[in-house]
A and B are shown apart, each in its own frame.
Chain A
Amino acid sequence: DGGITQSPKYLFRKEGQNVTLSCEQNLNHDAMYWYRQDPGQGLRLIYYSQIVNDFQKGDIAEGYSVSREKKESFPLTVTSAQKNPTAFYLCASSTLGQPQHFGDGTRLSIL
């Protein structure tokens, strides 16, 4: 079945450590997005990519980095510079102008 796969489902980060969240889609979508959701809050855009080898910062990009080397993949790295990384991270993809499809998310916590 076509869809978006996020892994791992749960992730723990130690102080000073960088961690990478995986997002893979087989929907042949050009655009991919990373959002952060805090408890009781709506989603906030971290980074987005409209095409391979190109990406733009969203509203809360500080402390995060991304790459888009393949159409199917858009990994997100949470760096040690992100001081409050505990959140639910959601990846989405779409054809521009069409509904965004979401993965099941990765829950990141601090050890």
Chain B
Amino acid sequence: KQEVTQIPAALSVPEGENLVLNCSFTDSAIYNLQWFRQDPGKGLTSLLLIQSSQREQTSGRLNASLDKSSGRSTLYIAASQPGDSATYLCAPGGTGNTGKLIFGQGTTLQVKP
């Protein structure tokens, strides 16, 4: 059974810092992996999707990497801003293109002005 761990659980940084959020998963037979953002009391917003054959994806100040063999993904946020404050969730997709995702518990980020 796939288990997903995100470290750290919470993070507080001053504005402008570069930071890395970590995600590890136990079953490397994944179809893809998604990173999401969740604001308090809201639904999820998709940030990046990495296919299993890819090593990384970039969108603006965000870069996500995937090392499938070691069961790890990282989300790099450059030049953090207060508006980046949210919970970030990692979700690997299972074997086959079923769309089923297994979520980690998330990293709650606070960026201080």
Contact = CB atoms under 8 A, between A and B. Distances in A.
Interface of A: 4, 6, 31, 33, 35, 40-45, 48, 50, 58, 90, 92, 94, 96-105, 107
A94 B49 CA distance: 12
Interface residues of B, number: 25
Contacts, number: 62
Residue in A33, A42, A92, A103 with the greatest tally of chain B CB atoms within 10 Å? A42
Contacts of B98: 48, 50, 96
B99 interface: yes
Interface of B: 4, 31-32, 34, 36, 41-46, 49, 51, 89, 91, 97-106
A58 B102 CA distance: 10
Contacts of B100: 45, 48, 58
Contacts of A33: 99
A108 to B, nearest CB: 14
A74 B87 CA distance: 27
